[in-house]
Structures are given as C-alpha cells and as structure tokens.
Amino acid sequence: MSTTTLEQPPAAEAAIQSFTVTFLIRRFDPDVDTEPRWQDFDVEMYATDRVLDALHKIKWEQDGSLTFRRSCAHGICGSDAMRINGRNRLACKTLIKDLDISKPIYVEAIKGLPLEKDLIVDMEPFFASYREVQPFLIAGSAPVAGKERVQSVAERAIFDDTTKCILCAACTSSCPVFWTDGQYFGPAAIVNAHRFIFDSRDEGSQTRLDILNDKEGVWRCRTTFNCTEACPRGIEVTKAIAEVKQAIMRGKP
C-alpha cells in the first residue's frame, strides 16, 4: 500500500472534491445596525474543513469586518462557542461533512448573553455566575510537608466528568431557563461547583451547596437536557445538576 501511495502523482491531491457552501451569518455592528441582520457568504470548502475554517476564509478573503472569538482553534480554549444550525457547538469542532450543505448553514452568536458584535457576546454575566460558586480548592489544612493531598482513584472518579469543562458557555446559553431573565446560575456554574463539591480534598462543599440552594440555584433546572446535548466536551451536565440536587437534599456531598 505504501508503494502505491508513493507512486501516486502529486496531482491526485487536487482531485479531492471541494464544495461551495453557503453560510448565513447573523451580523451585528453596534455602530451601524439597530437590529442584527443575516448576511450570506459562499465559501469553497472541503468535507474535512471546519466551520471555523469557513469563518476564517470569510474574514480573510471576503469581509474583514466579520468578528468572532477563537484562540486555540482545537476545542480546548472554549472561545468559539456559537449557534450553528440552531445548536450550540464549537466552530472548531464542527466539520463540514457533518452538516447538510445542500442548505445554507446558519451561524449566529450564542443566546442569552448580551450581543456585542457579530458572533461576540458579553461573557461577563456568565463568568460572574462562575465566580459565585467559588470554583477553587477550599481547604483549611495543609498537606503533609513535601506531599500532595491524598485521593484514591475511586474518589477522583466521582467528579472526573465535571473536570472536563472548558467554560465555553455552550451549555448555559442553550438553557431555556437561562434565556428568560439571566438570573439562573446556569449549567456551567453548577458543573464547576460539582467539580469541587464532590472532591474529597475540598472542605467548602457546604458553602457551595448553600449557594446553589438559592432561589436561582439548581431548583430552576427543568431537566430539558439542552446543556448535555450542547456540551462539546461530552459532559453529562444534567446528571451533574441532578447530583447536586441530591447532595443539597442530603445536606452533604
């Protein structure tokens, strides 16, 4: 097989089929527009390209004013969560081949957070909720000198799922309860509280459970599973919220 590959002329690469894909992007320029508007772009794409590549092509070749966030472009930094064909996804993890390109692909900013420009929203309310659950290790005692805090594999496994969060806001901005008035803590904050509530090394669980036992806390969750479906990291968000509800009812993790 390796010999055939070597014998292939380089021209074979050009034979990879490309497609013209239409993107409908919800644009908003606060200096000009009073309302967001949909603008369409035709982009030449390969099946293995991602939506982020399309946004780059548009910005670099067609309209330099297109505004969006992205940093690592490989699904780790959580900057480019956006609503693609009505679902919250990371643009850098959404392949063209997984979308129906016989129809235009709709791309818009995530919902429920204040729209600033094009695909960029103000993430501050989201991070404010995150900060409120005190997402850091709270421990009164110091570990034995020169050692780490001891934790068994089983104790670590309890909260393994919720350590994967990259704070992209795909879950929180897919939550219909968060859309209403933005007062709800939102799935992401609860996931990050879960990560410490069930950590055997942490001593601040009670504080966090009290914070999430608020009027706008876990009880506003309607278990619609939008968050679980939206999470690009595959975290079972609704399950984590349910576990926090159970912990509040028990009064301890």
- Where along the sequence are the contacts to other proteins (CB under 8 A)? 128, 131-132, 134, 176-177, 180-181, 207, 210-211, 213-215, 217, 219-220, 222, 245, 248-249
Minimum distance from residue 248 beta carbon to other proteins (Å): 7
Beta strands in 85-122 (DSSP E): 87-90, 105-108, 115-117, 120-121
Q: What six digits make up the tokens of 120?
A: 């960029």
Nearer to other proteins, 48 or 223 (CB): 223
CB 172 within 8 A of CB 116: no
Question: Cβ–Cβ contacts within 10 Å for residue 186, how many?
Answer: 27
Whose Cβ is closer to other proteins: residue 38's or residue 136's? Answer: 136
Query: Measured between alpha carbons, how far is 215 from 86 in angstroms, rounded to an integer?
Result: 29
Q: Which is nearer to other proteins, 47 or 242 (CB)?
A: 242
Beta bridge partners of 84: 87, 107
Closest to other proteins by CB, 107 vs 189, is: 189
Q: Compute the least distance from the CB of residue 185 to other proteins, in Å.
A: 10
Query: How many C-beta neighbours within 10 Å does residue 31 have?
Result: 5
Q: Distances in Å between the alpha carbon of 238 and those of 133, 146, 218, 222? A: 17, 39, 10, 9
Question: Least distance (Å) from other proteins to the CB of residue 151?
Answer: 24
**CB 112, min distance to other proteins, A:** 13
* Nearest CB to other proteins, comparing residues 104 and 182: 182
Distance CA 114, CA 73 (A): 23
State in angstroms the smallest separation of the CB of 139 from other proteins. 16
Rank residues 154 and 249 by Cβ distance to other proteins and give the closer one. 249
Q: How far is the CB of 158 from other proteins (least distance, A)?
A: 23
Which residues, in sequence order, are bridge partners of residue 115? 121
In contact, 191 and 215? CB cutoff 8 Å: no
Greatest CA separation found in the chain?
69
- Minimum distance, C-beta of residue 171 to other proteins, in the bound complex (Å): 17
Number of H helices, E strands in the chain: 9, 7
Q: Which is nearer to other proteins, 29 or 124 (CB)?
A: 124
d(CA 235, CA 174): 14
